[in-house]
Chain A
C-alpha cells in the first residue's frame, strides 16, 4: 500500500508541470463541491473517468478505467475502497468531485465526504433501479441538506429501463422524474449535460474569506516520504502555505509544508480559500494527529470554535490474526502499525492463543474490510497469516454488577459469574423484488431478525427493515440473501444498539484438551450446528495419529458433538527402491521435519494447515 500510493504520488508530481493551472482568487460563486454516491457498482468511478476526460484533466492517452481507484487491491477487485477527490474545470466553474466507495463497510467514507460538499450526484443503475445503499445515500444527503442531482446511469445497457426507474425514484425519493438525468458513464452520453446540471443546480459554497481559518480534514493517509497527507475543505478564512496551523482536536500545532490541489496530479498552490478543496502536508508523522473530522485553524489567529467533526467508525467484526511462522510476530506488529497509518478504522491488540501462539485481536468495519486488511498485510508486508473465525463484540454483565467487553471467546466469563450477555444489533434494510419476499422473511427469521417495517416502494419492489443480531449477518447472511434472490436483493445496515440474548460458549476439545482457536460464542440454537460442523471439519483435517483422537464440541461440560480420528495403522515405505537409500532417508527426514512443525495439542500433533483450513470461512 505504502508503495502503491507512493507510485501514485510520483506519477502525479511528474505530471504536475504540464497540468498546472494556478488557481488564484477563485470566485466562490464558481465553485461546486460534490460527491458521487451510489450503490455498489452503479458506476461512480466510471463516471469520474468520463469527467476527467471531458474536462481535459487527464489526457486520453493516460486514461485507464477507474482512474481514481489507485490501490492495487482496488484495481484487482474492481471496487473503490477509499474516497478520492479531484478538481476539474468546466465552463468557467471549478468542480471538486469526490468519488466514494459503494460498499457498506466503507459507508463512513461517504459520510465524511459529504461534509465537504454542497451537493451529491446520486447515481442509479438504469437496469437495476433503487437499491439499499441508494436509499441510505439519499437520506444521508438530505440529512446534510445537500442538493441531490439524481442520475440514471448505464442507459446503454439493453436491460436499461430509465422511464420505469425514473418513476420509481420520484415515488420513493420525491425527486421529480423530469429532472433526473440519463447518462452512460461508459459511452459518455449525457455526461456533458450532467456537468452543466451540476453547475446549475448545486449551490456554490458559502464562506467568509476574511474570517479566521476553519478547514475540515475529511481524509488522511500516510505517505512514506511526505508523512501525513490530508484532504482538506476550507470553510472560512484562508489556508496559506508556510503558515503555522493549530489542529484543534489534537491540540497540536504544525507548520504547513505544502498545500495543493489534485487535478488529479498534485499541484502545489500558495493558498486555498473558502469553498476550496485541496491537500495539506504539515510534516505530521502520526495520522492520529490529523484525523478525519479534525479542524485546522491558524495558530496566530485561531477560530473561536472547531467545526463539527465526526465520530471514528467503530469496528464491528473481530478476528485473531496470527503469523503462520511464529518468528513473524514482530513483523506482524510492525505491519499493523504501518497499515493503521492509512486505515485508522483497523484496531488491534496483542493476544495469545494456546494453539496459535502470539498474535493480535483485530477489529474491522465488516467482513470485506477484514478480508482486505488481511490481504494487504500478506501482500504488502510479505506475511503469511492465520485468521480465526470472525466474531462480534459481546457485553457480559457479571453477577457483581460489572460489565466486561468480550471480543474473543476465551474472554467469556465463567457461566456461574455471568448474569447476562448482550450482543450488538443492526438495523438491516433489504430492497428486493417482491417475488422474493417470502424467502427473505424466512431467512431473516432464521437469523433471529425481528421485522421493523415492510413497505412497497413500487408494485415490484419491497423494502424490508429488520432488527437483526450483527453476529448473524457476519456469518454468511449476505451470501444467503444473494443466493435466495438470484442476486437481485440488496442490503444495507447500520448499528442498532444492543440486546440480551441466550448466548453460549462452545469449546472444541482434541483428545480432551480444549483448543482456544476453535471455540466460539453462538446463540444456543445454533450451538449444536456449529459443534457438528467444526468437529466434522476437524475430523477430515487432523491427520491420523498413533491413537484414536476424540474431537468433541462442548458447552460447559456437556458434549454436544463428537467425532473420532481413528488411529493410523499403516505408515511405512513399502520399497527400498534398490540401492536408492538416499531417497528413503530424505522422505524420513521430511516426515521428521513435518512433525517438528506440527503444533502439539496435548498428545495430538496438528499441522498448521489444519488450523488454516478449519478456520477458513465457508464459501
Chain B
C-alpha cells in the first residue's frame, strides 16, 4: 500500500490507553455479560462432560453425550471403553463427542468477535482504548487456525442429525411389561426444543452460508442453491441470538436429564 501511514502524533485528541473513552453508557456490561455467560458455560460443560454418569434417563440422552459411541449397553460400539482411551482420564462418553460442538463454537465467527472483546479486551468495547500495543489479528498462528471453522461446521451438521435421532428415541418409553410404547414426557419436549435451537444456530453458520451460495456471484438460475442461501442467510441474521439461546438450552437439557437420573427431578409424562 503506498498511502503513507498516519502516526499517532498527528492525531490531536488524547490518544489511546486502556479503557480510555468518552462513552457515557455502561460499555462494560456487554463484554462483561459475555465473559460471565461463556465462563459459566465452560465450567458447567467441563464438569458435566467428565461425570461419565447420569447422562441417560429413560429414553432420554443428554446432548453432551450424543452420540454415545462407547459407554453404556445402548452405545453404538458397546459398553467397554476403547483400548486407546487414555488411562489418566476418567472415562466419560462425552469425551468422544464434546470436542465437535466445542470446536464449532470456539471458531464461530460471532463467538470469536465476542470473546476477543470479553476475554482479550481486543478491543474492550467499541471506541474504548486497548491494553496492548502489539496486534496480529487473525493473520498469524494460532488464530490463523480459526479458518478450520468450516470443517467443524460439517461435523456439527452431522450432529444435528444425531440429535434428531435422539428425539425419535425420546418418544418411546419402556412400560412395566418391558414393551416400548409411544409417549411424550417433559424431557421429550426439552430434547426436541434443544435440537430445534441447535439446528437454528448451526444452519445459520457463516461458513454454511458460504458453501450454500455465498461463494458464487450468480445465484439467479440456480433455484436450489438460491433457496438454501436464502435459508441460511435468514437464520444468519440472528446468529448471535441463536448462539446464546441454543447454548443455554443445551446446557439446560443436560441438566434436566442429569437431575432426573439422579432422582432430584421427576420427569412428568404428558402422553
| Pair from one complex | no
Binding site for B on A (CB under 8 A): none
Binding site for A on B (CB under 8 A): none
